[in-house]
Structure 1
Amino acid sequence: MICLGVFVRRSAYLILLPLLTGAAPGALMAQEVEQRAAPPQDEADEGEEIIVTGQPERGAVIGDIEAEQKLSSADIRALGVTSIAEIITELEPQTNGSPIILLNGKRISSFSEIRDIPSEAVARVDILPEQVALSYGYAPTQKVVNVVLRQRFRSEKAEAQLGTTTEGGRDSGEVEAGLLRIRGDNRFSLDLEYSRAGRLLESERDIITTPARRPYALGGNVTGALVGGEVDPALSALVGQTLSIAAAPANAANAAPSLTDFVAGANNASVTDLTPYRTLSPATENFSANATLARALGGVSATINGRLALSENDSLQGLSTAALGLAAGSPFSPFAQDVTLYRYLAQGGALGQHIRGTTGHIGVTLNGQISRKWQWSFTGNGDLSITRTRTDRGIDTDAIQAALDAGDPSVNPYGDFAPGLIAARTIDSARAKSQAVTGDLLVSGTLFAMPAGDVMTSIRLGASANGFDSRSVRSGVARSTSYSRDTGSGQISVDVPLTSRSKGIMGGIGDIGVNLNVAAQQLSDFGTLSTLGYGLRWQPIRAIQILASANQDRAAPTGAQITDPLISTPNVSVFDYATGQSVFVTQLSGGNAALKESVRDQFRLNARIKPFDKPNLTLTATYLNSWTSNPIAAFPTPTPDLEAAFPQRFLRDADGALIQVDARPINFLRSRSEQLRWGFDLSVPLKSHIQKVIEAWRASGSRPEDRPKELDEMRAAFGGNRVRGGESQNGERQSGDGERDRSNESAGSGEREQARGDRGGPGRSFGGGGRGRGGGNGGGRLSVSLYHTWHLEESILIAPGVPELDLLNGDATGSSGGQPRHEIKARVGYSNNGIGARLGVDWESGTHVDGALNGTSRLEFGSLATANLRLFANLGQMPNLVKSMPFLKGSRISLRIDNMFNQRREVRDATGMTPLRYQQDYLDPLGRSVSIQFRKLFTPAFGGRR
């Protein structure tokens, strides 16, 4: 309990106490006694998988820490998703970020092993707290998601999706094909995916162009040789005022203009709309192929996975610019003194940035048993990534200027140029290559027995070799970097039970266990980085679980953060706080070889309350306190304080206008974060129409002559075989956990679950009056989840001698304002009788940023609420439809509307105006988007084998 006194602030106690005591312990204890004493109910009514007391659940994780949330197959269907990757994305409110993924309670080499598996093949998903990660050799900083697959499944899938934005532009499409075979520990999957999305131009949104730093225009503007100087005294006399700028006349493109031709544009600069030449969202094209083969080899289960991904990204950055000097006496200059012509050069087309990526991955996983109480796991990975970037900086105007200086009468500075004069272009290029080989061995099991239970340990040893090579050419200057890193690592975690209710060891205070973990990394370029942590687990009664942990870890910057090539991107819009203006700058990105290691201290307190099972309600709360020295971060928004701390990162012209920002990553001095996150998940089973029909028939006596016609129609539509006793008509037997032991079980099971309850054979629900094993997860679901994150402190000290940034009260490190104090994520889902809907609402409070105009102004960032809706219909669960159109068996159609109400954040300055950089179409170019998807799972007939 010493760690509680050191790390937990009084505010955390005051916040967590109501949640921990909201359900009266006496009532919970009484309820627990009632649950133990109550006789088992009929499974068809219970709606949950049967668990045999005293035996671990199939696919359960190591250790005694209970899951925060368990999702049955019916809960997964209610999510309206099609793959494991989409399941993980949809569960983001529950996982609070990127979780560690397990498969059937075991480690996997990488997420690509299982990402494309259809959701129908998933029997259960468990969401577990961060401490569970220690048992698998990971740091206790991420939640753990354990995906349990069905023991028998096979399918082929074809999927197509089309999408667009309701305001126009950015059409997209995706096609996917795959196959899957699962039989126990044997598995094979292959997935091919291709997607494409068109570019979205600024001209397709209500973008007001940010004025250029110089008076460029397609036709051109003429100024004095010195900025702000008089163009020509004679022209000033013609217009009756001193003339500092004049728009080039339209006829100048065809012939030399006269002095009077400039009178109409005197002191009235021409302005060109560049929105057709700049993208808000780039055009993208992606292809991936992913294959996994898993086999049981004696006592070892082995998996090999390979993935290849190709990507392209094309964006437009505006037009080339030219500042051409016209000497007095030039055949195209009627002026008596030297002038400068500023113009855009549309001849060469828009400036483009092209990014090409190739990634290859191969992973191997081996899992086996050493003895009854010890197991081992090995994962190995090889990864290769190559990224090529080509950035068009514009036309080299040296040849044009030389011709003008020579007085060439064939070179009209206001018109089109000969191809030879604009052939030379300034192009920056960059190539980054990273390659890595990693190996990781985990051994876990029971060290010895204590009165309160077994002392568990996990020991992990790992090694990796990484190489990074980059080459860039910027403004004709080539730079190259080669970097390598070899790493050896190890981690030991020990879990010791101190008390136990079931064993009668101080059971009055519940189950208590402690954990100690130590880890170290030896990096060839950074030396030894260590991690030390400890934790406490307390379950006073079955309905309440409390976890506390503290750890300190050190992390080195990644190879990419150190060695990525220098890339210069022109015409990037930023808000310059010093001047209070939106400007276009050249942004430098890439690696920073001067980055240092970071050191993070974290304390986490987690409480889970499950007051009852019907309905399935879980309440969770997590308090997190984090202190980091030398945190590595992307370069933040250019505020005056930041510019004072890193003056070398900013470049301004003689007029003080910001023209370049070096946005490569940096180390801050320190950062502090404190937050409380709490919420609940509620899942209520719903009886499907066919279940109600079956119950009514059973209530009337289950007489064969009264058998509802709908049952026969459904069995005929789905091609089911009636099951009598434990055996179906084709001789297949039920396995011990209630799933049918057959090699040809297919994706059609997802449709049959509506009738037979996800367990056993169709006949157990369709036929005879016996209870059987039906109803396990059948019917539909109504689900609700709500999570609120309350940020108590978010501060950063960027450098010595600079005021600390309070991100909750007027400071910012990003372009979207400070840190919202409150964030809410809500999800509501409904699924029954083949029809479903899923609504997600995300809200965050507003922020403000002080410091604009050197501290005299403020930017207000309004609160933002967005709603995403998914409607889906599992056509295969509609017997009449399948009977009339058999092709629709296994098919599904879904409609997705993202940002349903087209909401965007509003940003206002002190005058109530929106800075051009913060126009809503810049902050969210897509707005409301709509996509429709059709998916078909092709399945074999149940009576045969393939």
Structure 2
Amino acid sequence: MQFSSRFAYRVSALALASTICFPALAQDAAQEQPETNQSGGSQDEQVSDEVFEADIIVTASRMRGSVDTDVAPVVELDEADIASYGADSIADLVAQLGPQTSSGRGRGGQPVVLVNGQRVASFRELRRYPPEAIEKVEVFPEEVALQYGFRADQRVINFILKDNFTSREVEVEYGGSLEGGTDNGEIEVSQLVISGAKRFNIAGEFNTQTLLTEDERDIEQTPGSQPTVAGDPDPAPFRSLRADAESYQLEGSFNTAIGEGANAKAISVNLAAEQSYSRSLSGLDIVALTSPAPDSETAVRAIDADPLTRMTRTTSVSGGGAYRQSLGEFEFDLTLDASHVESETDIDIRRDLSPLVTQAAAGTLAIDGPLPAIPTPGVDTATSRTTSASARSTLRGSPIFLPAGEVNMTFAGGYGWTRIVSEDTRTALGENELTRGDLNGSLNLNIPLASDREGFLGFLGELSLNASGEINDLSDFGTLFGSTLGLTWEPLEGLTLQATMINREAAPGLSQLGDPVVQTFNVPLFDFATGENVLATLTSGGNPLLPAANLNDLKLSANYELGLFERANILVEFNRNRSENTTESFPLLTPQIEAAFPGRVTRDGSGTLIALDQRPITYAERNSERIRYGFNMFGRVGKAQEAPQGGGEGRRGGGPPAGASSAGGQTRMGPEQFQQMRDQFCASEPGTVPDLSKLPPFIRDRLTNEDGSVNMERLAAVRERFCNAEGAQPGAGGGGPGMFDPEQAAAIRQALCTSPDQPLDLTALPEGLRARLTNEDGTVNEERVARLREAVCQGENGEGAQGQGESSGNQRRGGGRRGGGRGGDDGQGRWFLAAYHSIELKNEALIAPGIPTIDYFDLGLARHSVDLEGGVFYKGLGTRLSGRYRSGYTIEGSDPTGASDLKFGDLVTFDLRFFMNLEEQKWLTGEQPGFFKGTRVSLSMDNIFNTRQDVVDGNGVTPTRFQPALIDPLGRTFEIEFRKLF
């Protein structure tokens, strides 16, 4: 009865109705227990996979490759949605999904990336895949990262790839600033082959950009750096705003599966190499020699000037791999990642003029003829070699079933190793070496407390507890601990509430502790104490005295699915961070910061700032609070066309198969199609694999494992039931063992659709269905009967059976929730709109007890920020608009008149992109696209209004350091792209 109970509770009323009102595959579940899920999936997946082993089939099952979780996704995209973004690669798509994939925690970094619901060794494995290879994208909140062995400070983005896809891609881009002075270009070629569990990708890319100097933007020079005498050279042409650079990249990845069924093992490897060069200019090294001409009062002035150049060369090699297999109720993952990066920077230094000074003092310096010998400029060299390697294993499964559902467990453990070796001729410390080993482990439990669908404390809805603990033993720092505790509650359909508390200890970064101390001379700074622009010496490097931090975070969130357009949702989050002994970069030097860190600032006798130590600092306390809310909306454009029959190349089915109907996100077969499917099975020899491409996609999915390989045990079981003599008997229902024929379906409806006041005649129902509508003691489960009646009997009015009860076959488990949308080419266009607003409520720091608290709103933190993404795509034409808003702020100086205050204005920027799929433009291609097949051209323009942040002092004057072209040298830029998929 355990399986029957699980099944009955999990099947939605809509799924029951659709399977009863249309012919479905069935047999008495009491005949045999369900087989174990060969791919190690959840119990929900087991139910949906047992297509031929249950009385009732749920065809609106969790999509293979989706994330198995009860947490509502932030956003979901199907194929048509993805096409509307006009992205060039998966990396480009992730960048465009920035508002949805960025965390509001104030910590963490890039989102956790999954492929088909599984961990990958590195994002580099798939970042160059074309978006056309994706069947679906799911973005989840940070809490989902815990079940994959990550911390809850990164969102999760899952890419479900197509089963079969092949492409060769060529991409050429050219762009630049509309103000001139610089341009850039890119050439990229790649090939991708996806065949079930096997994937192969290789890609190469070349990028280049030209130098942009200050004279091309009419930059006013900082006092002390410009010519002092007429005729002296201007340093502006020798100060770069943008470096001259080029890079070469080569990447490849390979994925495959070994074995079949429960013994299948997935293996992947990836390799990447990159080399880059850059050149920037830091002004002129000017030697000016002045001497009276012989027998004359006229001065003779001789000039020698050399540009100060910085050359950087970087070479990196990285690789990784992953191994995955099922171990009973668990799924085991092992990921490996390693990289080695070498960087060398040559920095011109000013010439040593002491010999000339000595000659001048001795009166032997004469310049009325040729210039005397001037020392050759020297070069400082900074090198670094960073090597890192990590191994991480996870064991995920659901071995315990409580009354409210499955307990999901994730065990994770690994080891990370990093070594940084650096040397800088500007210091006398010689070679500096830093090494850190990190032995770590974690355990995460997701425990269901109440569940309406499982019939346990159903009045509470869906309620689960998440608890995790972690430990990190650092070779250079000691042992650190962390824990996470959270609740996820779905009190009603479409509304998900979450509360998460995180407490953990964190060590400073390796570079923050031990980077070599380096001084950089003549750096332009604005001195808030005096309101002056100065050239000062900056000290950077590590601070070995930094302690471990204690971090305490609280997150409260609500995600509500709106009944608007095709799908829409609104997300509201509150984040509070409380930290002790945090390591921070040195903040903006205001009078308040200078008073708190007087030993970091050096002034001369007149009070002019001449040196600043910017090495990391420690705050005794750091507190912040913020609210972030936003919405995602998706809709359709134009009139829908009839979907093509059968699947298409490069996707898992192109729509409902011939003879099938689709409603509410579900696919159902008619009798003729079912007979065709049975013939397909029985025409092949036992032990062989029939042509699965001819089968309906929702059946084909259930005959393959998670890695795409054919599950021979399920195939054999299906063949036996379809093709044996008993299965062919008419009494079997006209289509296989236990099938409901039309008369039987009508009898079921008649029995169910009597007056609700009359008792249900169970004898009129098939034995298997009757068992599912009764409790273990044999009494009728009125709640199940009521749900089933509502769904089935609505069909009498043309509703319910056609899937009108829910918008998209809403499923609780992973990815099948409302909003999944349907892929394929239905002739309609798509539009989308997403906007997120962040409000900083509090952000302050305490240096030490007894010292006034520092308010970061006085140091240049914007209270409000808004990110907007919107677009529309129809008949091969698309446009996308991106917008960003940052509110203004004021930084107070020390002048009581306000003259040294700086006011930073609001900043609003918009980016616009147009793209056209040429093969869909009949006016260009005619009836045959020919060369234009798979071709797209794009035109994008960033910062279309050429806005830059306005910065003025108390007198309304823009300081030299904050000239608009120094803040944003490029302004309005454009890019033209040609892309072709073969």
Same fold, TM-score > 0.5, yes or no: yes
Superposition pairs for residues 610-625 of structure 1, below 5 Å?
Answer: 610-612=561-563, 614-625=565-576
Please list, as runs of the form range in 1=range in 2, the aligned pairs for 1:738-887 lying within 5 A after superposition.
775=824, 779-808=828-857, 811-812=858-859, 818-853=860-895, 856=898, 857-879=900-922, 881-882=924-925, 883=927, 886-887=930-931
How many Å separate the matches in 1 of 2:908 and 2:587? 24
CA displacement at 1:37 relative to structure 2: 7.6
Q: CA deviation at 1:344?
A: 10
**2:188 and 2:205 in contact (8 A); partners too:** yes
Could you give the per-residue CA deviations for residues 328-382 of structure 1, whole angstroms, max 9, x where no partner exists? x9969959xxx9x9x996532x1112222222111111111112x3101101111
Deviates more, 1:656-665 or 1:140-149: 656-665
User: 2:513 is matched by which residue type in structure 1?
Assistant: I
2:888 is aligned with what amino acid? G
8 Å contact kept, 2:171–2:187: yes
1:417 partnered with 2:371: yes
Question: 1:62 deviation in Å?
Answer: 3.5
Matched-pair contact (CA < 8 Å) for 2:79–2:824: no
Partner residue of 1:180?
A: 192
Other-structure match for 1:434 = 386
Name the aligned partner's letter for residue 391 of structure 1: I
Q: Please tell me the residue identity of whatever aligns with 1:797.
A: L
Q: Which residue of 1 is the match for residue 322 of structure 2?
A: 365
Rounded Cα–Cα distance in structure 2 between residues aligned with 1:441 and 1:93: 30
What SS does the aligned partner of 2:203 have?
A: strand
Contact 1:404–1:411 (CA under 8 A) maintained in structure 2: no
| Contact 1:861-1:907 at 8 Å conserved across structures | yes
Hey, what does 1:927 align to over in structure 2? Answer: 971
**1:733 corresponds to which residue?**
693
Q: 1:577·1:854 contact (CA, 8 Å) conserved in 2?
A: no
The AA in structure 2 aligned to 1:112 is R
Partner of 2:632: 681
- Contact in 2 for aligned 1:367/1:378 (Cα 8 Å): yes
**Structure 1: which amino acid aligns with 2:970?**
L
- Report SS of the residue matched to 1:401: helix
Question: How far apart, CA to CA, are the structure 2 residues paired with 1:869 and 1:40?
Answer: 50
Q: CA deviation at 1:547?
A: 1.1
Specify whether residues 612 and 368 from structure 1 end up closer, same or farther in structure 2 by C-alpha distance, changes over 3 A only: farther
CA 877–732 in structure 1, closer or farther in 2 if over 3 Å, else same:
farther
Matched, 1:383 2:395: no
Query: 2 CA distance for matches of 1:876 and 1:557?
Result: 53
The offset of 1:691, in angstroms, is: 5.9
Q: CA deviation at 1:664?
A: 2.7
> Bigger shift: 928-937 or 198-207?
198-207
Gap regions ≥5 residues in structure 1: 1-31, 43-50, 222-246, 251-270, 695-723, 742-772, 813-817, 939-946
Question: Following TM superposition, by how much is the alpha carbon of 1:54 offset from its aligned partner in structure 2, in angstroms?
Answer: 6.7
Which residue is equivalent to 2:215?
203
Q: Cα distance, 1:880 vs. partner?
A: 5.4
Contact 1:794 1:806 in 2 (8 A): yes
Aligned to 1:906: 950
Quote the Cα distance in structure 2 between the aligned partners of 1:308 and 1:40.
Answer: 57
Deviation at 1:589, TM superposition (A): 2.9
**Residue in 2 that maps onto 1:149:** 161
Matched, 1:82 2:88: yes
| Cα distance in structure 2, aligned partners of 1:422 and 1:652 | 31
Report 1 or 2 for greater relative contact order, CA contacts < 8 Å, sequence distance ≥ 6.
2
For the residues of structure 2 that align with 1:41 and 1:691, how far apart are their CA atoms? 23
Which of these residues, 461, 473, 476, is aligned with residue 425 of structure 2?
A: 473
Do the aligned partners of residues 622 and 345 (structure 1) sit closer, same or farther apart at CA in structure 2, a change above 3 Å counting?
farther
Cα distance in 2, alignment partners of residues 737 and 800 from structure 1: 66
Q: What is the aligned partner in structure 2 of residue 23 from structure 1?
A: none
Kindly indicate whether the alpha-carbon contact (under 8 Å) linking 1:650 and 1:662 is maintained by their aligned counterparts in 2: yes
> Which of 571, 579, 583 in structure 1 is aligned with 2:522?
571
State which drifts further: 647-656 or 125-134.
647-656
Secondary structure of 1:664's match?
Answer: coil
Q: Alpha-carbon deviation of 1:737? A: 2.9
CA offsets 1:386-440 (integer angstroms, 9 cap, x no match): 121222121221233233334345445xx9735x4231x2432211111112111
Equivalent residues of 1:427, 1:474 under 8 A apart: no
Q: After superposition, give the CA deviation of every residue in 1:687-729 in whole Å (9 maximum; x if it has no partner).
A: 47866999xxxxxxxxxxxxxxxxxxxxxxxxxxxxx9889xx
Following superposition of structure 1 onto structure 2, how do residues 104-123 of structure 1 map, counting pairs within 5 Å?
A: 104-123=116-135
Q: Give 1:446's match in structure 2, choosing from 398, 407, 412.
A: 398
List alignment gaps of at least 5 residues for structure 2. Answer: 1-11, 23-56, 104-109, 646-674, 681-689, 702-821
Equivalent residue for 1:289?
250
Q: CA deviation at 1:314?
A: 1.6
The alignment partner of 1:65 has SS state of coil
Are 2:579 and 2:623, in contact at CA under 8 Å, matched by a contact in 1? yes
- Tell me the C-alpha RMSD between the 2 structures: 3.2
Deviations 1:38-95 (A, max 9, x none): 99999xxxxxxxx955733211223322312111111111111110101110001112
Change (3 A) 1:124 1:638: same
Is residue 177 of structure 2 the alignment partner of residue 165 of structure 1? yes
CA distance, structure 2, for counterparts of residue 101 and residue 904 of structure 1: 34
Classify the secondary structure of the residue corresponding to 2:459: helix
Map 1:220-619 to 2 at 5 A. Answer: 247=229, 273-298=234-259, 299-322=264-287, 346-348=304-306, 350-371=307-328, 373-408=329-364, 410-411=366-367, 417-418=371-372, 420-423=373-376, 425-474=377-426, 477-612=428-563, 614-619=565-570
Aligned with 1:86: secondary structure? helix
Return the offset for 1:614: 4.6
- Deviation (angstroms), 1:293: 0.7
Distance in 2, Cα, partners of 1:295 & 1:385: 29
SS at match of 1:55: coil
> With structure 2 as the length reference, what TM-score do the two structures score?
0.73
Match 1:643 to one of 575, 584, 594: 594
Change (3 A) 1:153 1:344: farther
Structure 1, residues 862-905: CA drift from partner, whole Å, max 9, x if none? 11110000100111233553446511111111011000100011
Distance in structure 2 (CA, Å) of the matches to 1:394 and 1:39: 82
Q: SS at 1:632's partner residue?
A: strand
Moved more, 660-669 or 545-554: 660-669
Change beyond 3 A, Cα 1:65–1:416: farther
Residues 122 and 548 from structure 1, CA distance in 2 versus in 1: closer, same or farther, beyond 3 angstroms?
same
Aligned to 1:417, the other structure's residue is in SS state: coil
Secondary structure of 1:508's partner?
Answer: helix
- Give 1:910's aligned amino acid: G
What's the secondary structure of 1:669's corresponding residue? strand
**Match of 1:357, as an amino acid?**
T
Paired-residue identity, %: 33
Q: 2:102 aligned to 75, 96, 106, which one?
A: 96
Amino acid across the alignment from 2:309: G
**Total equivalences in the alignment:** 768
Deviates more, 1:909-918 or 1:848-857: 848-857
Cα distance in structure 2, aligned partners of 1:628 and 1:416: 65
Displacement of 1:611 in angstroms is 2.7
Residue type of the alignment partner of 1:901: F
Partner of 2:723: none
Q: Give the equivalent residue in structure 1 for 2:64.
A: 58
Query: What's the secondary structure of 1:347's corresponding residue?
Result: strand
Contact 2:488 2:498 in 1 (8 A): yes
SS in 2 for 1:75: helix
User: What is the CA-CA distance between 1:183 and the residue it aligns to?
Assistant: 0.9
- How far apart are the structure 2 equivalents of 1:71 and 1:301? 26
Letter in structure 2 aligned against 1:354: M
3-state SS in 1 of match to 2:592: helix
